Amino acid sequence: MEQIGLEWQPWQPEKLSVKQVTARLRRTLREQFSNLYVTGEVSALKVATSGHLYFNLKEEDAVLSCVIYRQSARLMKFQLRDGLMLQARGSIDVYEPRGVYQFLVEFVEPLGVGALQQAFEDLKKKLAGEGLFESARKRPLPRFPRRIGIVTSPTGAVIQDMLNVFERRSRGLEIRIYPSLVQGAGSVEQICAGLRYFSESGWPDVVVVARGGGSLEDLWSFNDEAVAREIAACSIPVVSAVGHETDFTIADFVADLRAPTPSAAAEIIAPDLTVLMERLEGLDRAMARSVRHAISTRREQVFRHGVDQARGLLQRRLNRFAQRLDEIDSRMEGLLKIRVWKLKLAYQQATLELMAKDHRLIFMERWEKIVRMRTAMRERIKSILSVYALKQKSLEGQLQQLNPTSILERGFAIVRLEDGRIVRNPKEVRKGSQIQIRVAKGSFDAIRK
């Protein structure tokens, strides 16, 4: 019987190089620890000149070395700092030059509202340092816009409330809605696309980004740096109407105007046509009153000027008559003197003849004739002067009658309508109409019953 024997060979360990061991470990770790979510506190943060971020995630006594490469770091919405609690997504990898394992982080988000608030403050500080919040770069809204572009969700109460306000205040506005998610994945990209659409088309007079209220996490899309920069780059004035009155987002600070609510944004943008029409009617009434007052004032001035002209004309005519009377009086006085002188000559001649012939009877007759002629001449002169005096009094009476003030002194009055027209017929005054009555000592208003 033949015995079969087994040959014993000693165990030989696998011989690997350092590189091979590192590669096998790297492959094993990637297969077993890929697409992990790890939470921890940031410590030993270091920002390399290459843009990579190196830090540790620690929890009690455990520490995990982490790295975020520059490409992923650029997409972060906040700044890392020591002590910040994070949730990081990535894979375990081996860094061959040092033979250590590390967590390759692809995405991080802060944990808790406090962390979100810190991210908010970090981005706010960054953009403020670039001047995106400066009031000098903010543009005024058009006073009477006709075309309004809105970037918001096409469903929900926000857009319906805004449309109701627009319809109530300014019917006939042209409104275009760019449908967009307002929270969650893809919302930032859609909001930016809507802003670019309106900016490049140049169609609207004003653009509104709108969303209802919510928590800090719900409003976080409007705290995104990409949205903020798209608002700043928009060629059309932008109104941010996000959340409630107490909510503030980065979009509010960058926009040309921040509205406390979407409905308030519609109130601010759309002019109230009813108020405008009332204001225009008020201005029209004020202008009509001003025109009527100006016309009445000018009519009064023309009336006074006409009276002054009539008075001046009559005075000039009276002066001319008085001057003519003076001339006639002077001429009559000259004629009288000549006639008296001639009579004196005749008297002297008659006296000489009488003395020569002593014809006393002839002398007496001629003397009586002279007396009669002198008396007649005096009476004639008085008659002429009396006629001109009567003419003078007649002209003065006419002047007095033409003076409207004298007419008013006799108890007459001038009645005017509201528009300044003089009333000549009672039918011109309707019941309830207000009239102005002018008397000698002033004027007063009355209403016809």
pLDDT per residue as tens digits for the range 325-334: 777 777 777 7
pLDDT in tens, 202-213: 999 999 999 988
Which of these three, 229, 248, 271, is where a domain ends? Answer: 271
Residues 169 and 54 in one domain: no
**209 part of a folded domain:** yes
Q: Which of 215, 231, 211, 41 is nearest to 120 (CA)?
A: 215
Phi, psi dihedrals of residue 256, rounded to the nearest 5° = -70, -25
> Within this chain, do residues 394 and 334 fall inside the same structural domain, yes or no?
yes
SS3 of residue 432 by DSSP: coil
Query: In 3D, which of 29, 33, 35, 53 has the Cα closest to residue 43?
Result: 53
Whole-angstrom distance, CA of residue 306 vs CA of residue 373: 50
In a domain, 307, yes or no: yes
On whether both 250 and 321 belong to a single domain, the answer is: no
Q: Is the pLDDT of residue 2 over 60?
A: no
- Look at residue 12 and tell me if it is in a domain: no
Asked if residue 55 lies in contact with residue 119, where contact means CB atoms within 8 angstroms, the answer is: no
The number of CA neighbours under 13 Å toward the Cβ of 378 is 7
Q: Fill in the DSSP letter of residue 184.
A: S
pLDDT tens track for 132-144: 889 898 999 988 8
CA 58, 63, 69, 73: dihedral to nearest 10 degrees? 0
The pLDDT confidence band at residue 9, using thresholds 50, 70 and 90, is low
Domain boundary among 253, 271, 289: 271
| pLDDT tens, position by position, 97-146 | 777 888 999 888 877 656 677 778 888 888 889 998 898 989 999 888 88
Q: In terms of domains, do 232 and 318 share one?
A: no
Distance between CA 335 and CA 289 in Å, rounded?
68
Q: Let me know whether 383 and 395 are in one domain.
A: yes
Residues 322 and 397 in one domain: yes
Name the domain boundary from 256, 271, 286: 271
Mind listing the pLDDT tens digit for each residue in 297-320? 777 776 676 666 766 677 777 777
Task: Looking at the structure, tell me whether residues 196 and 250 fall in a common domain.
Answer: yes
Q: Is 118 a domain residue? A: no
Q: Is residue 7 part of a domain?
A: no
Helix (H) or strand (E) holding 378: helix 360-402
77 and 27 belong to one structural domain: yes
Q: What is the CATH number of the domain that holds 183?
A: 3.40.50.2300
Dihedral angle over CA of 314, 319, 321, 327, nearest 10? -170
What element of type H or E holds 165? helix 157-169
Q: Which tens digit of pLDDT belongs to each residue from 261-287?
A: 998 999 888 877 677 667 777 777 778
Q: Is the same domain home to 44 and 174?
A: no
Domain count, the chain: 4
Take residue 156 and report the two structure tokens written for it. 């929900």
Half-sphere exposure of 330 (CA within 13 A, CB side): 6
For 310, the domain range is 276-402
Residue 13 — pLDDT band, cuts 50, 70, 90?
A: confident
Same domain? For 181 and 291 the reply is: no
CATH of the domain at 79: 2.40.50.140
Q: Given the DSSP bridges, would you call strands 36-47 and 85-95 parallel, antiparallel or unpaired? A: antiparallel
Do residues 398 and 412 both lie within one domain? no
- 264, 288: one domain: no
- Going by the DSSP 8-state scheme, the letter that residue 133 receives in this structure is T
User: Among 34-48, 258-272, 352-366, which is the least confidently predicted range?
Assistant: 352-366
